[in-house]
Amino acid sequence: MKKLTIRYWIRCLVLMLVTFGLITACSSYTVQNTVSPIEVVNKDCRMVKHTMGKTCVPINPQRIVTFSLPTLGNALTLGVKPLGSTFIDMLDEHTYLKGKVDSIQSLGISSPNLEKILLIKPDIIIGWHAEKQFYPLLSKIAPTVLFDFQPDKTWRELFKFVTQVLGKQEAAQQAWEHYHQRVEKLKAALGDRYKNQEISLVFLAPGVIFSEGKNSFPDSILQDVGLQRPQAQNAIAPYTQIYFSLEELEKADGDIMFVGTLTDDDQEYLEKLKQKPLWKKLRAVQQNHVYPINYLTWRAGNLLAADAVIDDLFKYLVNIP
């Protein structure tokens, strides 16, 4: 992946942490009322409740635009290939979406390209509440639904929302069955080997060290598999992220440590970190149990990425290098 500037990274991170401000505008597609998530209006239209109210969406949309990698991944999981999506430019050949997004048009990152979206002529636009500031314009292009991704919401709920919007309940059930089958296969392969061991997750951004806390995307997979986290990481935090200072590096430790970086700058920071005395004292480091993982894959929040995370767990915990 080509080197990204810090300003570029910060803008991306802000989006991924879902910290955009609220906006209360509505459009001709939207009526502000409390309704059930899905309400059939007629043979061509269903009313979907979302963070901006409720929107009439086509029963069988063909021209779909998605915002955010989790939403894109959810659509692909359900067998639906959007015509355009944001964040595609962040992907590299090592992510779980390799070969799956080649024909999908990139719509930008921090600011969706409205001109490109207009040219696509979408039937529906699906995103999350980070796009609220663009909603008045987007909803004039096509019916737009946004998932209200708050700290108490999970990646599973976003998948359920996308499933309801696209009407792909059968595909969703098959995807969950595949996930649970893989989890059970991994649990059988692991046996009791890691019963009393702690699995640490560490991610690096420029000058920042953090982990994913309890009920985050990667933590929920580890829980399903029956793997434990270090006490310092087994906590609920806003938007699931737990930050460590360099002086608190021991909180990043475990019997096994998975480390993910996004940019070349992050990798350089990791190399400098490896020279620090505190790093060298970590038991995972001393036992040579530190393994690289793909940052975007392990933080992706969708079932396609979950499959890739399970692949990594097989690779590093079962088929030990």
Query: For 137-157, how does the pLDDT look when each residue is reduced to its tens digit (9 = 90+)?
Result: 999 999 999 998 776 678 999
Q: Is residue 161 a contact partner of residue 193, using CB atoms and an 8 Å limit? A: no
Report, in this order, helix, strand and coil percent for the chain, each rounded to 5.
45, 20, 35
Tokens read off for 112: 């969706």
Tokens read off for 282: 């970590």
Mean pLDDT across the stretch 277-293?
A: 95
Going by their DSSP bridges, the two strands 45-50 and 53-58 should be labelled as antiparallel
Query: pLDDT tens across 230-271, in order?
Result: 999 998 887 789 999 989 999 999 999 999 998 889 999 999
Query: pLDDT tens across 97-129, in order?
Result: 988 998 999 998 878 899 999 999 999 999 987
Which pTM was predicted? 0.84
Query: pLDDT tens across 175-206, in order?
Result: 999 999 999 999 999 999 999 999 999 999 87
Domain boundaries, the chain: 6-167, 192-318
Going by their DSSP bridges, the two strands 53-58 and 30-31 should be labelled as antiparallel
- What pLDDT, on the 0 to 100 scale, is given for residue 9? 40
Q: Is residue 212 a contact partner of residue 293, using CB atoms and an 8 Å limit? A: no
What 21-25 contacts at long range (C-beta under 8 Å, 24+ apart), as own/partner pairs, is 21/132, 21/133, 22/129, 22/132, 23/132, 23/133, 23/135, 23/136, 25/135, 25/136
Q: Calculate what percentage of the chain has a pLDDT beyond 90.
A: 66
If pLDDT is split at 50, 70 and 90, which confidence band does 28 have?
very low
The architecture that CATH gives domain 192-318 is 3-Layer(aba) Sandwich (3.40)
Radius of gyration of the chain (CA): 20
d(CA 310, CA 300): 13
The CATH number of domain 6-167, selected from 3.20.20.70, 3.40.1440.10, 3.40.50.880, 3.40.50.1980: 3.40.50.1980
CATH topology match: 6-167 vs 192-318: yes
Total residue count of the chain as it appears in this document: 321
DSSP letters along 120-178, please? H--SEEEEEGGGGGGHHHHHHHS-EEEE---TT--HHHHHHHHHHHHT-HHHHHHHHHH
Which residues, other chains included, contact 140 with Cβ-Cβ below 8 Å and sequence gap of 6+?
A: 27, 28
